[in-house]
Structure formats: structure tokens, C-alpha cells
Structure 1
Amino acid sequence: MRSAEVRRVALRAASVGAAASLALTLDNARRIRRPDPTAIANPEPLNVLLPVRDEMDEITGCLTALRAAADRWPGRIRLLVLDDESTDGTGRLLDELARTDERIEVLHGTPTPSGWLGKSWACEQLSRNADHDGVLVFVDADVRLAPDALVASVALLRTSGLDLISPYPRQHATGPAERLVQPLVQWSWMSTLPLGLAERSARPSMSAANGQLLVVDAAAYHRAGGHAAVRADVLEDIALLRAVKRSGGRGVAADGSAVADCHMYHGWREVRAGYRKSLWSAFGSLPGTVAVVALLNLLYVVPPLAALRGSRAGVLGYLLGVTSRAVSARSTGGRVWPDALVHPMSILAFTALTVDSVLARRTGRLSWKGRAISETTR
């Protein structure tokens, strides 16, 4: 087959794939679950679990928002915060904050055991001190909850009949690196995972979750083995939902942009460090990673390159990708324009970050918050 024919076949395949992905994005935008800020929750026990490590700049804002949300909870509520061996004075600040609100219970974490990753061990310690009934809500320190976030999220968990929901916070992205990469977090599952099927399916592979905000039935969490079941998983949030599914439960990602905000990374250095620790494991294996990255580049980078050479099929493929990105952003509280127009650049940035993560893994240079990520992690 001549090279010109190969290019035409590749462009047609890319257009078909991008069109299918856009169709799925549109369907997900129609059916995605959202916490209702006007909902009413039953007054069951609620434990909010917050693991923190070196979060002096975040913890006051996070707890201020948490306390406002806790004020609206109709039943018993506990705010459990674990200082995970911070070195910047976070522990002392937490003790001061706890003296202002009896609902705040500060735990001081113990060293991470062999075979565990730090965040999973912190969450495990929190869960051991939490009530074993009602609902557990895991929150990260860089998340800011709206006053009605807890009531709305727990009400969604109960009315949906699910065991775990993950309301994705609205992702703040300011600098160029953040605006290129962060919107791909929601777009990745909005464009590839059929949410209606995923929440009914027992297949662990059909899972998407975000540890920034996880709402889980306490009984289902313990039945799944809790964070002990995902102790060595870098992407412990997705792994926890898979564990819940394996134990007979159900769960799904939701749009939490109306009830929570998060500014995850600030600038290229933090973006690179954050994705370096995890992207190597995102697709299960090195061959899987290569296949996914190659497919993304075929669908969303090849068409605009062809468009620059005058290809109408390339223009169509480019517009399909941009539209998918725009629909995802509009559905999850993200910035739509002009960011969606540079979707091919986002895919190239993601490719570079994935390569960096794989190389760091293979050379033993993975770390996060001052801790090495060992070769035993998954």
C-alpha cells in the first residue's frame, strides 16, 4: 500500500474513532450524575476523613470550608484529620484548629509500613478510627467544599443506590501547563467510559474515581477491605472503586463541580511531579500504556497535522476532538474556550508526561512528597 493510501486510511480511522468518542462524551454529558445542592439527607452518622502531609498553605482553608459544610449536616458528624508525619508545622496548626471546634479530631500518623504507599496508609489509619456505620467521605487538603457539599453528595449516594460515588471537583487551572493538562482528567473518562453502563457493571475495569472527594458507604468500604486492599496502588482511588466492585458493590464518577473546587497543581513543576508518580500505572502495563498513547495521538494529533496540509478529513477529525473536549469541559465546570482549541497540544503534553513517568519508574526515580515510591507498587 502506498504511503498516500496509508495516510488516507489512518485519517479515516482517526475520524471514526474521534466521532465515536464524541458520541460517548455527549451521552455521558446527558446522563452524568450530579449532587443536588437542594437535596435533603437522612441524619445518619457521617465521618469526614482528611489525610494531610506538609499542607500548611492549604489546611486552614480546607477546614474552614469543611466546618461550614458540617454545620448543615443533620446528624452526627466527625471531622477526622490525620497529620501524616508533616515536617512543616502542619501538625501544630491542626492542634490549634482542633481547639476551636470539638468536631475536629486530630490524629498523628505512624510511619508507613513496608508494602504500603503513604496516602493509603494515612487513609487506613483514619478509617480505623472512624465509625463503622453510616458514610465515609475522603477529602484532600486542596479541596474546598461548598456549604451544601456533604448533604448533597451523601443524598446522591443514597438516592442512587450506589455504594461509592466520586464527585469530581471543579479543577482550577491557571498557568499554561495546568490549562493544557488538567482538563484531560475529566475528559479522559467522559470520552471513554460509558457512565450508565459503568455504574451497573460489576467489572472492575469499568471504573473511574478521584481521591480528592470520595463518598462511600461505610459497610461497603469495610467489606471491600478498605485501603488495606489497595495499599500498594499508586492510583488508590480507582483501585478502591474496583475493590468495592469485586466485593459486590457498585460505584461511579459524578460531576462535583457545583459542590467542590480543587487547585491540584501550580505550574509546570508541580504538574510534572504529580503526573510522574502515577501515569506509568494508569493503563495497567507498559504495552497498554504504549497502545493508549499511540491511539490518542492517532485520534487527536494526526488529524490536525493533516489539516495543516490541506486535508478536509484532517479538519473534520480536529473539530471532532475539539468538540469532545468542549462538551466535557462544559459538563464538568471547566473552561471551554479557547482551551478546547488546543486539544492536540494537550495530548502531546500528556504523551510527554507519560514518557517521563515511565522512564522515572524504570530508573527508580519515582517519589512523592519526599517519599520514594518503591518497585513493589502497582
Structure 2
Amino acid sequence: MAGALGLTWLGTGISVVGAGIALYNRLTVRQLAASPVEVTEPVTVCVPARDEAARLPRLIADLRAQRGVPRMSVLILDDASGDDTFAAAIDAAAEDPRITVLRNETAPAPGWTGKAAACVRLADAVVTPVLVFVDADVRLAPDAIAGAVGELRRRRAALVSPWPMQRAGSPVEALVQPLLCWSWAATLPIAVADRSLRPSTAVACGQFLAFDTAAYRAVGGHASVAASATEDLDIARTLRRAGQPTVLVAAGRLASTRMYDSATELAAGYTRWLWSAYGGTVAGGATVGTLAALAYWVPPSVALRGHGALRRVGLLGYAAAVTGRLLARCTETGGPLARTDVLAALAHPFSVAAYLALWARSHRARRRGTLRWKGRRVQI
């Protein structure tokens, strides 16, 4: 009994600390907002797109509706798509003189991921002082680009990463996708981390990145992370190693995305890169998995089966986990929560289980050499 109580207290303690960090971030993480002044400097928005014929036109419409950034231009790269991405982009651009659509017909060179190669191709054509990357599945409010550039300049940063709200269209997505934000919101005080140049405390989301172009080029741009499965995190770390500050802002009020359209696509997407988490080692992942089980499985299990003090401690741990999850989601959305957010938070133990299963699947695919994404073999 004493051993079980001690183990439950340990797991509950981890959950409570996580909830405390999530509360701190909810109160202190900056929310992306419309720029108070017009952005007068030239800005180039780059959109790498592969097999995005269905989603890209909606982003192009959002980009055409941007305001507060009159000297904005847009470069779109159809990266050897197997669908009608190029034609869809041309149609959506509607001869807007600000938009240029490029086409790439070749596979990435050995040692390069498709995303990094596409970003380099786009960046090579940029001459403006600000460079913004946006993924094709992102939706933008009219003030999003001006807000990101304004934040970049106000913070005097080399990189601002506006974190889009992750939208879900299925129960599996609702369980898993909010874990991306929760993974940093419940473990890392962002306001403190953003004042540091420690690479290990950098957070970035490659779906929406705003760079000072000179700083981006000084570290080699995406060529410096050519083989990375998580090029967004690694380019932020590269900048910090070079003494360049990077910052994170929550962008849920102005930007959102649905990364995957189904549970099958979600599983394939996570399998592609999750092996690289925790240093890319099985030992690192196993350590994190053990801590996650201790914090997010033991307390609710004890709350269900235990009695007396043991059950009360388990309930406290479970409540802290749910609270941390909800606070992280509030930080991400910047507004009220939906019913699905609350239900997903209550199912947090199952979310952690799904995440760990995806991590194991990713390592297995890597070991077997079967990692693939959008018809391409993932090179490691």
C-alpha cells in the first residue's frame, strides 16, 4: 500500500507541475494579433506544396485577402505533385500580380527531405528583408502575415514561430493533435525560454514561420537542416547556436490548420517523423514513455481502482492532467474551448497511449526502412 501510494504521489506530482507550467504559459504566452502599424518593408510569403490541390486554393484566397502588408509578394512551389496542384494554384491566383507559381519536377537529392529542398528552392528566389513560410493546409485571417512580421520586428528576433490552432475533424485527430501544443505548454515556460539562446528550449512550428532573411541566410537556411525530419525545430536551434533569438507566439486567433484529413493520414504523418523525437533514440523515447505512464496512467488507474487516500491522490493527479491539457488548448486557441476539447482532455490517458503507439510505429518503420510520405521514401 505504501509503495503504491508513493508511486501515485510521484505521478500526481508530475501532473501537478505540468498543470502549473501550463497555467504560467496560459498567462504569459503572447497571442498573435493584428499589427498596430502597417508593415512598410517588403515581405515574401513562400508556400511549398505537394499534392495539395484540394487545400491550396483556400490558402491562396487567404493570402490575397491579407491587409496591413502592402509590399507582400507570394511564391508558391508545386513540388512534383501527383495531382493538379499546379493548375489549382494558377486558377486560385487569378492573375494576381503579387503571386508567382513555380514548378519542380525532380525528387530531392540524397540526404535531403522534400520539405527542406522545396523551402530552399523558394528561398533562393527571395530578395526581401522578411521571409515567411506557410504550409498549404494553413488558414489565415486577414491580419496574420502583418501580425507575424510586426511581432518579428518588435521582438528583434531572427525567427518568430506563430503556432496555428490545430483543428480536428475526427475523434482520433481530437485526441492526438492537441498534444503538439501540450507537449511544450505543459513542460516549458515559454516566456523564460524565449529570453534564452539555449537550443534545447527552442520551440517552432514549420506550418508558419517568419524569418529575418539576413539571419536565415547567415545560418544556411533550410540547407542547414537538409536531412532533418523536424526541420522547423532544428532551424530554430541552429539560429540559437549562432546567437540569434527565436520566439514563439500563439496564433490561434489568426491562424489555424487541419494537418491530416483522416486517422490513416494522421498515422502516416506521425510515423514519418516521430522516430526523431527525444534525440532519435529508443532509450530517450522509453524514458519519456515511462514518465508519461507514471504521470498520466497511474493516477487515473488508481482513482478507478483504489480506495481512501490512494484514490484521492489518484483523482488529484488525473484532475491535474486534464487541467493542464485544457490550459494548453486555451493557450493554443486564444479563445473559448469547444465541447470536443473538453472531451479530449478527459480522455488524456488515451491520447498519451495513442501518441506512444505512434512513436513505436515510427521507430519500427525506420528500422525496416519503410518510412514514406506523400509517395516519397523518407531519406534518413
TM-score, structure 2 as length reference: 0.94
SS at match of 1:105: strand
Q: Does 1:352 align with 2:357?
A: yes
Matches within 5 A, 1:182-331: 182-284=177-279, 285-310=281-306, 311-331=311-331
- Tell me how far 1:95 sits from its aligned partner: 3.3
Specify which of 12, 20, 26 is matched with residue 15 of structure 1: 12
Percent of matched pairs sharing the same residue: 40
- Measure the CA separation in 1 of the matches of 2:168 and 2:85: 25
SS at match of 1:219: helix
Q: Does 1:148 align with 2:143?
A: yes
Q: Does 1:66 align with 2:71?
A: no
Amino acid at match of 2:43: L
Amino acid at match of 1:258: R
- Measure the CA separation in 2 of the matches of 1:174 and 1:294: 30
- Tell me how far 1:355 sits from its aligned partner: 0.9
Matches within 5 A, 1:67-86: 67-69=64-66, 71-74=67-70, 76-86=71-81
Counterpart of 1:46?
43
Contact persistence 1:25–1:191 (CA under 8 A): yes
Counterpart of 1:126?
122
Amino acid at match of 1:348: A
Contact persistence 1:11–1:302 (CA under 8 A): yes
Bigger drift between 34-43 and 269-278 goes to 34-43
- Tell me how far 1:99 sits from its aligned partner: 5.0
Contact persistence 2:58–2:139 (CA under 8 A): yes
- Measure the CA separation in 2 of the matches of 1:307 and 1:351: 22
- Tell me how far 1:91 sits from its aligned partner: 1.7
SS at match of 2:204: coil
- Tell me how far 1:253 sits from its aligned partner: 2.0
- Measure the CA separation in 1 of the matches of 2:36 and 2:284: 41
Amino acid at match of 1:251: T
- Measure the CA separation in 2 of the matches of 1:30 and 1:93: 41
Contact persistence 2:39–2:68 (CA under 8 A): no
- Tell me how far 1:38 sits from its aligned partner: 5.1
- Measure the CA separation in 2 of the matches of 1:170 and 1:105: 27
- Tell me how far 1:39 sits from its aligned partner: 2.2
- Deviations 1:306-363, CA, capped at 9 Å, x for gaps: 1111321111100010000011111211643222111111111111111111111111
- Deviations 1:280-330, CA, capped at 9 Å, x for gaps: 101112211111111111111111011111321111100010000011111
Contact persistence 1:171–1:263 (CA under 8 A): yes
- Tell me how far 1:174 sits from its aligned partner: 2.2
SS at match of 2:124: helix
Gaps of 5+ in 2: none
- Measure the CA separation in 1 of the matches of 2:296 and 2:258: 26
- Measure the CA separation in 2 of the matches of 1:267 and 1:107: 29
Bigger drift between 90-99 and 166-175 goes to 90-99
- Tell me how far 1:82 sits from its aligned partner: 0.6
- Measure the CA separation in 2 of the matches of 1:303 and 1:361: 33
Specify which of 98, 108, 115 is matched with residue 112 of structure 1: 108
Counterpart of 2:376?
371
Amino acid at match of 1:30: L
Counterpart of 1:35?
32
- Tell me how far 1:223 sits from its aligned partner: 1.2
- Measure the CA separation in 2 of the matches of 1:174 and 1:99: 30
- Deviations 1:164-192, CA, capped at 9 Å, x for gaps: 11111111112110010011011111011
- Measure the CA separation in 2 of the matches of 1:211 and 1:114: 22
Contact persistence 1:224–1:244 (CA under 8 A): yes
Q: Which runs of 4+ in 1 moved over 3 A?
A: 95-99
Aligned residues: CA RMSD: 1.4
- Deviations 1:44-87, CA, capped at 9 Å, x for gaps: 11010000001110111110001111x4313x221000110011
Amino acid at match of 1:338: L
- Tell me how far 1:142 sits from its aligned partner: 0.5
- Deviations 1:268-288, CA, capped at 9 Å, x for gaps: 101101111111101112211
- Measure the CA separation in 2 of the matches of 1:97 and 1:61: 8
Contact persistence 1:257–1:332 (CA under 8 A): yes
- Tell me how far 1:246 sits from its aligned partner: 1.1
- Measure the CA separation in 2 of the matches of 1:252 and 1:38: 17
- Measure the CA separation in 2 of the matches of 1:362 and 1:321: 33
- Tell me how far 1:23 sits from its aligned partner: 1.1
Contact persistence 2:75–2:100 (CA under 8 A): yes
- Measure the CA separation in 1 of the matches of 2:207 and 2:373: 16
Bigger drift between 227-236 and 40-49 goes to 40-49
TM-score, structure 1 as length reference: 0.94
Counterpart of 2:347?
342
Amino acid at match of 2:116: S
SS at match of 2:247: strand
Contact persistence 2:176–2:354 (CA under 8 A): yes
